[in-house]
Amino acid sequence: MNSNFSSMGEVLAHLQKENINNLESRAGYIQGFIDKENKEHGYEYDRYMEFGAANFTNVVTEHSGSKKECILWCVNHYLSLNRNKNVIEKACNALRDFGTGCGTSAASCGMSSLHKEVEKNVAKLVGKEKAVLFPTGFTANVAAISYLAGRQDLIIFDRECHSSIVNGLKLSEAKWISFKHNNVSDLKMKLRKYQNSYQNIFVVVESAYSMSGDLAPLKDIVALKKLNKFYLYVDEAHTFGIYGDKGQGYCHEQGVTQDVDFIMSTLSKATASIGGFIAAKQEFCSLLKWSHPYVFQACLTPADAAVVLACLEEIENNPGMITELHEKNRYMRKLLESKGFNLGLSQSPVIPIFIENHNKLRTVVSELYQEGIYSTPICFPAVKLHEGRIRLILNVGHSKEQIDRTVNALERICIKHGIIRSCDEEMVMRKVV
């Protein structure tokens, strides 16, 4: 195996580029890189949280068993409700009253009254007639994208859409093409080009993109419906619960809910549980109940459903959490930008620090870990090969002190490795210009 790989992303890209398909060879490349990393400083993708997700917790390196207390920046519990006492109490009560697992799929009588209450509540919250509950957000997207469109249909999706959407596309019988990320002009051109070539056209976007933190131009996309007929599907995984005055989502905040045909979200982020849903008109939801991921997959547990209900109640009763999250988001972004960090066009509480060089990216991640600050490096295939980054996923539970400490450590380490300039260097460069 080539020992010059700087990241697992480079290993995976090499396997793809060289068309290495032999099982033993592929596994050998992967294991060889992991072994090399473990001999040096530990393989970051095998690290785990000793006592579960929290803003400050023990991060354990599996190979060595070593652990370190860290400020954690890689968990999507935006409202920090996974540690909320009321939420935990209601999960415990559900375990006692409903037992552990469901034992079968929704189509085979696997749901409980808690599951049905989740469906009713999320549909009402996002402003749709009905909602269908799935065991995960990933399978919700796979189910909808693979099953809604038929052989005579076209799906046009944003090129930065999540892997769950892409996997749904691959399983669909429809034709599918991408449009340039958040580029309404490119989408408009493709709609115009294919408008009369297919029975139905679906446009699939995310309200906030998980790897870049970019928000979708939903108003501009909806405006295209006046000129072109299409169904609009919006994945609100990273906005449900944290946009809108009561967590209704970004579609609601932008005033476009009625023009969006399908609203999807996971339940593992703002609502700190597991599962996913598709909200739409009743007929579409009835159709989705015959998708394979719905029919042939066991339901999420009753306790998980109870967590979702408890989180929705907390959000309704304490909407100030949403305000506080966005205030901290603005604070952290302003601080990072003042230090010269490249945050791209991001706006949501997903804050990317773009570092193209994989060696530097992983060095920064490693040195941050040594200082008790942890997030994972984002490399191929999550992003393009030369679009590496660190994601800082801001939760409302992060304190201003933790934000300051993280930004100061990032500044010091990134100046050291030539990723950003120091204030003195910046002043010299301005004088030269």
Nearest by Cα to 272 from 49, 89, 70, 78: 78
> Concatenated DSSP letters for 203-247?
EEEESB-TTT-PBP-HHHHHHGGGTS--EEEEE-TTTTTTSSTTS
- Report percent pLDDT > 90 for the chain: 89
pLDDT of the residue at 426? 52
pLDDT of the residue at 428? 46
User: What residues are paired with 223 via a beta bridge?
Assistant: none
State mean pLDDT over 46-63: 94
State mean pLDDT over 191-196: 96
Q: What is the set of domains in the chain, with CATH numbers?
A: 82-317 (3.40.640.10)
Distance CA 314, CA 236 (A): 19
pLDDT of the residue at 287? 98
| pLDDT tens profile 295-311 | 999 999 999 999 999 99
Residue 228 pLDDT greater than 50, yes or no? yes
- Inter-residue contact 311 to 272 (CB < 8 Å): yes
Distance CA 377, CA 41 (A): 14
Distance CA 402, CA 56 (A): 9
Collapse the DSSP code of 277 into the 3-class scheme (helix H, G, I; strand E, B; otherwise coil) and give the result. strand
Distance CA 308, CA 95 (A): 14
Reported confidence tier of residue 427, pLDDT bands at 50, 70, 90: very low
Residue 193 pLDDT greater than 70, yes or no? yes
State mean pLDDT over 387-397: 94
- Inter-residue contact 155 to 149 (CB < 8 Å): yes
Whether the model pTM is above 0.75: yes
Distance CA 134, CA 146 (A): 14
Distance CA 136, CA 162 (A): 14
User: 256-261, long-range: CB within 8 Å, 24+ apart, which pairs?
Assistant: 256/218, 256/219, 256/222, 257/126, 257/127, 257/128, 258/127, 259/222, 259/225, 259/232, 260/218, 260/222, 260/232, 260/233, 260/234, 261/231, 261/232, 261/233
- Report percent pLDDT > 70 for the chain: 97
State mean pLDDT over 79-83: 97
State mean pLDDT over 91-98: 98
- Inter-residue contact 130 to 341 (CB < 8 Å): no
| pLDDT tens profile 234-285 | 999 999 999 999 999 999 999 999 999 999 999 999 999 999 999 999 999 9
Reported confidence tier of residue 406, pLDDT bands at 50, 70, 90: very high
| pLDDT tens profile 126-174 | 999 999 999 999 999 999 999 999 999 999 999 999 999 999 999 999 9
